[in-house]
Structure 1
């Protein structure tokens, strides 16, 4: 029990802030909402900027980039696939996308946070792990996965929004029989 309290006490405050943000955003996603394409871009954009900033500030960028990219590519597919099955509505007159409530982001965010936290704690407790490239790069792969999921989800929803505009233009241009 002493080790657990030492781990919690040794965790930087900003990590708990990140956890709080994940819980807040996940709880918000539980409820249906309406977002403009710009509003829909904010959270994925912030995650992408933070992820890239963290990656680019590393002194081992060349070692970490393949891990981050692999996670990001996998995440793009998962996020896009998830967004494609969502039953969304598009309100072209108000420029809004209606998104159903889902626990996906809460559950996914907590899982990714937990995995990354466990890896970082394990490396802190076992210095030999941090010397091995796989373990050193694994948190970056998890970060890439989350970033890719967010970006893939966003891109898929934006494509669906834009396609609805095209469908609307085509139906207005089609002559009536």
Structure 2
């Protein structure tokens, strides 16, 4: 029990801030609502910018980039598929997308956070793992997966929005 408490207390505060943000955004996505394309673009844009900045500042870029890209490509497919089957309404006259409430982003965000946290804790506790290239770049694969899911979801939603010809809201 002591080691669990020491891991939790040794975690930087900004990590808990990210967890709070994930829970907040996930809870927000659980409520149905009308959102503009610009508002729906904000979170994926921020995640993409942060992920690319982190990736470019990583020491083993040659090692981390392939795993990040692989995770990102997988995530693009998952996110785009999710957005294509999502029952949305599009109101082009008001410039809004009617979104259903879904727990998808809360569950996905918590899973990705948990995976990344577990990998980082494992590497912090077992310093010899940091020496292994694959294990030290695994967090980038998880980050790529999350980034890809977010960007794929956004791109599919925007494609549906801009292809819509009917100006009336569809049934949600």
TM-aligned CA deviation for residue 61 of structure 1: 0.9
* Cα distance between partner residues in 2 of 1:137 and 1:45: 23
* Counterpart residue number, 1:73: 73
TM-aligned CA deviation for residue 128 of structure 1: 1.3
Where do 5+ consecutive residues of structure 2 fail to align? Answer: 168-172
* Cα distance between partner residues in 2 of 1:168 and 1:96: 12
* Cα distance between partner residues in 2 of 1:43 and 1:13: 21
* Counterpart residue number, 1:33: 33
Asked which structure has the greater CA Rg, the reply is: 1
* Cα distance between partner residues in 1 of 2:166 and 2:91: 11
* Counterpart residue number, 1:129: 129
For this pair of structures, how many residues does the alignment match? 167
Deviations 1:32-88 (A, max 9, x none): 111111111000000001111111111111111000000000000000000011000
What TM-score does the superposition give when structure 1 sets the normalisation length?
A: 0.92
* Counterpart residue number, 1:162: 162
Deviations 1:130-167 (A, max 9, x none): 11111111100000000000000000000000110xx3
* Counterpart residue number, 1:44: 44
* Cα distance between partner residues in 2 of 1:44 and 1:152: 9
Where do 5+ consecutive residues of structure 1 fail to align? Answer: 170-177
Is residue 5 from structure 1 mapped to residue 5 from structure 2 by the alignment? yes
Q: Secondary structure at the match of 1:93?
A: coil
The 4+ residue runs of structure 1 with deviation greater than 4 A are none
Map residues 63-142 of structure 1 onto 2, 5 A cutoff: 63-142=63-142
